Structure 1
Amino acid sequence: MKTPPEAPPRVTPVPSTPPQRLKVTPSWLLFAATGALASSLAAAACGGDSGGSTDTGGATQGNGAGSGAGNGMGGAGQGGGLGLTSGSGGGGIGGSGGAGGECGTALQGIVRDFQVSHPDFEDDLGTDLGIVEPLLGDDGKPVYAGDPATPTTSGREAFDQWYRDEPGVNQAIPVSITLEPAGDGLYAYDNSAFFPIDDQGFGNEGNIHNYHFTYEIHTEFDYKGGEVFNFRGDDDVFTFINGHLAIDLGGVHGPQSASVDLDARSEEFGIAPGNRYTLDFFFAERHTSQSNFRIETSIECFTPVEPPQ
């Protein structure tokens, strides 16, 4: 009997694989990730005050360490600052940020440099509470409350230039800071020589540092319950949570401290856990003196938003 021929093996066709599109990560993202990793590895935990408001004395002539701001590279200054990045020279990663940006501990903002001749700079010293109204303006800026002036400010027209671009009056420079782990669930940025725009803008005007500038940050955070936000520094600081004034350290003075317990003031701020809220931060350095700047918070993550124009 003939043995039937062996059937040839069945070959299953393999569908051709379409070419894969190569994802190219933009160079600025690689640069940002590298910088963030380096900053995280190099940063040291920060201590410091977080108690109630305290005036530690009047302004004195500063001769402290450099700012730690590089032209786009940033780095820590000798004053103990961590993760400060200046956008000068086109190399900075800081700046205005963008709506819908990634949540993190970087706070992106705008520094505006002023000349010493501005009427609100190099003038009277002293604590000056009540410079701004308790509610943020519809344009996302503090509303001047002087009638017609305050002990350390000259009037509405001059104050309204602090946080708005005014050609010939100020120069805007993007600057970001990064909060680093500080223990006990806190994150901090601490710089006892906060001069982020030395030799930029209008320059130092014959001083060892550029002492005449403002700084604004606009961000959002998810309120989970139990958060705190603390600041210690000089000169003016106005911090708004959900549009409500949470910290008022107005005036030209030595380092002062303020603490905000979000739970304790939740009704005042109109906030409830499980929702996202705005945090708007305004700072001014107005005198040839020390420049201290410390933020400490248990807010774990901030989302940058487009700053108001």
Structure 2
Amino acid sequence: MNLKNHLSQNRALTLLVLLGLGWSTTAIGASVTLTGTIRDFCAPSIGSTCTHLSDFEGAVPGVVTGMVGSTLTAGLPTAAGSIVAGASTAANFAKWYVDSPGFNLSTPTSLTLTEGPPGTFTYSSGAFFPIDGLLYGNQGNPHNYHFTMHLEGLLSFSDPTLGADKLFTFTGDDDLWIFVDGKLVIDLGGVHGAASASFTEEDLKTLGLTAGTPYDLDIFFAERHTVASTFAITTTLDIAAPPGLPEPGTLLLAFPALAALLSRRRGAS
């Protein structure tokens, strides 16, 4: 076997082991880090730096459900029919979660949930301003208020009883949509004060998902108006970093099995 093929197969084996064992992170790890992208948008009247979209620092319609479709398209939410006045327009919304030159600037980001009590992972901020002073800057405000964020991870669930034992809860402002396996499970669109929504493993089962299977987790957030920004997650569902970014505890657990697999592979070369 040549070196290129050998390394390629070793990487594939590594990923398979990490995916297979990653769901133990909730039992042995102290944190889970989701990764993604933040995009900064223009505040009104900041000159020629960028073009302002009317739905950032615009109307405050409160919680607006039904802004997006029930499934992702090419990994992204799309406007669902006619957007409610004051929430957004389909043309504007199409720029929220993609790089749109002249309208936004982007940067990688991450968010770490910590464990405590055991099996419960939490992130909570009552002043969620992760790009203060970055990208377009604060634009004359105390904070950089106008941004969107897309976070990715993996989600699984156990099913110990017929009841709803596992929970995922979000509280925050403004827009928030969560998709599991590309299916909408939390719908909190609109510019609004801190609002809450949740789903359980029973809700996931109604969408056709099965216990013990890792599914893509996509979180889409928007902060569109001064002056507050809240972002809080609590989950007892099994949550993990995206593939390729395992938690340290997972690496420790996976190493013996990975070493055995690679050893057998070398013996067969």
* Contact 1:223–1:277 (8 Å) recurs in 2: no
Structure 1 residue 250, shift from structure 2 partner: 0.7
For the residue of structure 2 that corresponds to 1:193, the secondary structure is coil
Structure 1 residue 301, shift from structure 2 partner: 3.7
Question: Please, which moves more after superposition, 292-301 or 211-220?
Answer: 292-301
What's 1:140 paired with? 75
What's 2:175 paired with? 236
**Is 1:252 aligned to 2:191, yes or no?**
yes
* Contact 2:157–2:238 (8 Å) recurs in 1: no
Q: Distance in 1 between matches of 2:76 and 2:243?
A: 14
Using structure 1 for the length normalisation, give the TM-score: 0.62
Structure 1 residue 285, shift from structure 2 partner: 0.1
Q: Distance in 1 between matches of 2:179 and 2:239?
A: 17
* Contact 2:87–2:191 (8 Å) recurs in 1: no
Q: Distance in 2 between matches of 1:244 and 1:185?
A: 24
Q: Distance in 2 between matches of 1:205 and 1:266?
A: 41
What's 2:262 paired with? none
The superposition leaves residues 198-218 of structure 1 with CA deviations (integer Å, 9 ceiling, x where unpaired) of: 011111110000000000012
Structure 1 residue 184, shift from structure 2 partner: 5.5
Counterpart amino acid of 1:216? Answer: H
What's 2:35 paired with? 108
Counterpart amino acid of 1:289? Answer: V
The superposition leaves residues 92-137 of structure 1 with CA deviations (integer Å, 9 ceiling, x where unpaired) of: xxxxxxx877745111111100001212111111221111011111
What's 1:122 paired with? 57
* Contact 1:128–1:152 (8 Å) recurs in 2: no
Q: Distance in 2 between matches of 1:283 and 1:255?
A: 13
Q: Distance in 1 between matches of 2:211 and 2:153?
A: 17
For the residue of structure 2 that corresponds to 1:252, the secondary structure is coil
What's 1:191 paired with? 125
Higher relative contact order (CA 8 A, sep 6+): 2
For the residue of structure 1 that corresponds to 2:91, the secondary structure is helix
Change (3 A) 1:305 1:284: farther
The superposition leaves residues 121-169 of structure 1 with CA deviations (integer Å, 9 ceiling, x where unpaired) of: 11111221111011111x100010142x323334211101100111121
What's 1:56 paired with? none
What's 2:265 paired with? none
* Contact 2:153–2:216 (8 Å) recurs in 1: yes
Counterpart amino acid of 1:272? Answer: T
* Contact 2:70–2:183 (8 Å) recurs in 1: yes
Q: Distance in 1 between matches of 2:88 and 2:187?
A: 18
Counterpart amino acid of 1:239? Answer: I
**Is 1:211 aligned to 2:211, yes or no?**
no
Q: Distance in 2 between matches of 1:216 and 1:302?
A: 16
Q: Distance in 2 between matches of 1:107 and 1:230?
A: 16
Q: Sequence identity of aligned pairs in percent? A: 40
Change (3 A) 1:245 1:301: closer
Query: Which of residues 268, 272, 289 is equivalent to 2:227?
Result: 289
Query: Which of residues 242, 249, 272 is equivalent to 2:210?
Result: 272
Q: CA RMSD in A?
A: 1.9
- 5+ unaligned residues in a row in structure 2: which ranges? 1-14, 26-31, 44-51, 160-164, 245-269
For the residue of structure 2 that corresponds to 1:304, the secondary structure is coil
For the residue of structure 2 that corresponds to 1:128, the secondary structure is coil
Using structure 2 for the length normalisation, give the TM-score: 0.71
Structure 1 segments (4+ residues) deviating >6 Å? 99-102
Q: Which has the higher helix share?
A: 2
Q: Distance in 1 between matches of 2:58 and 2:70?
A: 25
Counterpart amino acid of 1:208? Answer: P
* Contact 2:167–2:237 (8 Å) recurs in 1: yes
